[in-house]
Amino acid sequence: MNQPWKAIDMSNSENTYEPELTGLLIVDPYNDFLSEGGKLYDYARSTLDALDVVDHMSQVLAAARAAGVQVFIAPHHRWRESDPYSRWETMPPVQASAAKAHVFADGTWGGTFHLDFEPRPGDIVAQEHWLSSGFANTDLDLQLKKTGVRKVIVIGMRANTCIESTVRFAAELGYEVTVVKDAIGSFGAAEMDASLQFNMPEYASAIISTDEIVKKLSA
């Protein structure tokens, strides 16, 4: 498989990750994305397998916990029978398709966090985002600021939708953003390439590998 994103190098040796200033942000770690049998897993399988995304996410999470970095989860809205979609006058395609397929359905295995990323005591789970940005219409910014976080390390799903939107919004709000390029996945190489080569470098201060961020957190 062609993997153009592997050639990207936005390492920044000057970036620092002080535990009192840094938060790890895990975006949408649902079984529907990350586990075989999930509703979106087959779409994401090629990048998840090529980059060993789930294992890399686990490595970053373990390093963050060991370093005393606060862990945040930014979950997508779970589909519910009570959702008001039928009364909405507008809905973008990505949201309409998710609603139609009942993606991340509340109370189901697919709408449950992957076992490796279930929150532990002390982790902060933000309010569910309705569309793509973990910040829009949620308390994520408040939770980050209340814990003194000014720098965020971003991992999870999906590169060109929720990851990219969250990274952009974080930059707009003044956070220093690091994206771990082999701890995010998407629905194919083209999406990863567009996000990592052209879009996220405009907003992320560093786009680095799991090995690099683990070393920095362990320093």
Alpha-carbon distances, residue 182 vs 7, 77, 179, 203, 209 (angstroms): 11, 24, 9, 18, 6
Is pLDDT above 70 for 10?
Answer: no
Instruction: Look up the pTM and report it.
Output: 0.94
Q: How confident is the model at residue 63 (pLDDT cuts 50, 70, 90)?
A: very high
DSSP labels, 36-57 = TTSTTHHHHHHHHHHHTHHHHH
Q: What is the CATH number of domain 26-79+93-150+163-218?
A: 3.40.50.850
Residue 88 has a pLDDT of 96
* Average pLDDT of span 179-185: 98
Alpha-carbon distances, residue 94 vs 113, 147, 161, 202 (angstroms): 21, 32, 9, 23
Residue 14 has a pLDDT of 82
| CA neighbor of 184 nearest in space, from 32, 47, 69 | 47
CB 171 within 8 A of CB 164: no
**Cα–Cα dist 102/79, whole Å:** 6
* Average pLDDT of span 124-139: 98
Is pLDDT above 80 for 9?
Answer: no
Residue 65 has a pLDDT of 98
Would you kindly state where each structural domain of the chain is located, as residue ranges? 26-79+93-150+163-218
- Can you say how many angstroms the Cα of residue 173 is from the centroid of all Cα atoms in its chain? 17
Which residue intervals of 81-197 are DSSP H helices?
93-101, 140-146, 164-172, 189-193
Is pLDDT above 70 for 49?
Answer: yes
| Number of C-beta neighbours around residue 62 at 10 A | 13
Mean pLDDT taken over the chain: 95
